[in-house]
Amino acid sequence: MEKKKIYYSTPALLAVIIFASNFLSTDLFKAGFQNFSVWFLLSLFSFACGWLINKTLGYNHGGKVVFAVIVASTFISVLLISFFSGYFGLSDLLVENMILYILRNIMLGAMAFCGMALSEVIILQKQSAPSRSKEEDSKRVLTNAQKEAQLLVEDAKLKADKMIYQVQQGVNDMVDRKNQIERRLKEFIAAERELIKKYESEEE
């Protein structure tokens, strides 16, 4: 819980940065490079705050916190400018001036959202890198398995062809032996008949 409380110091810093932007001149480019450099630093700090918020509070909860900070800072800024319009050099509160201050606050909040988004993209890429390597490994294993299965099938076909050839050779040998036996039997029967005829002729 103590770490959780410390985590909320970053959104508080972001609120201070957004609120402090109200005290800068609205004419960014007319005031010179010094004013613009201050705006650049504020934007950079807002970006860094968004990065830290995503690291500590997470993208979903941190996004809600940043949105709440933007809304609260904008509301307080509108009240401050309305009550102290003379201090801000606004003789009459024009709608354009009020919208300008609101847009400046939203711009710094958007920079914080950019920091959160970039941090989340980097985290997701790091998380997806092992899954991509696992997917590549699984594809490699699947390819090797397919090759091994193909080799096994080809080996089985060769063995089956060899067995069929051996069986066919055995059948041919048996047929040849059968033919030889039949031929010998016929020769034996023919020889017996001749002997019987010769024996009968001698008796007569």
The alpha-helical segments, DSSP class H, found in 58-94 are 59-83
Q: Tens-digit pLDDT profile for the chain (204 aa)?
A: 445 677 778 888 888 888 777 777 555 444 455 566 777 888 888 888 888 888 888 888 888 888 888 888 888 887 877 777 666 656 555 666 677 778 888 888 888 888 888 888 888 888 776 766 676 777 888 888 788 888 888 888 888 888 888 888 888 888 888 888 888 888 888 777 777 777 777 666
Contact predicate 38/24, CB 8 Å? yes
Taking the C-alpha atoms of residue 115 and residue 121, their distance in angstroms, rounded to an integer, is 10
Q: How many residues does the chain have?
A: 204
User: How far is C-alpha 152 from the geometric centre of its chain's CA atoms?
Assistant: 34
Contact predicate 18/70, CB 8 Å? yes
Taking the C-alpha atoms of residue 74 and residue 106, their distance in angstroms, rounded to an integer, is 8
| Cβ neighbour number for residue 1 with a 10 Å cutoff | 5
Domain ranges of the chain: 2-130
- Residue 2, pLDDT score: 45
Q: At what angle do helices 95-203 and 9-20 cross, to 10 degrees?
A: 130
Indicate the DSSP class of residue 151.
H
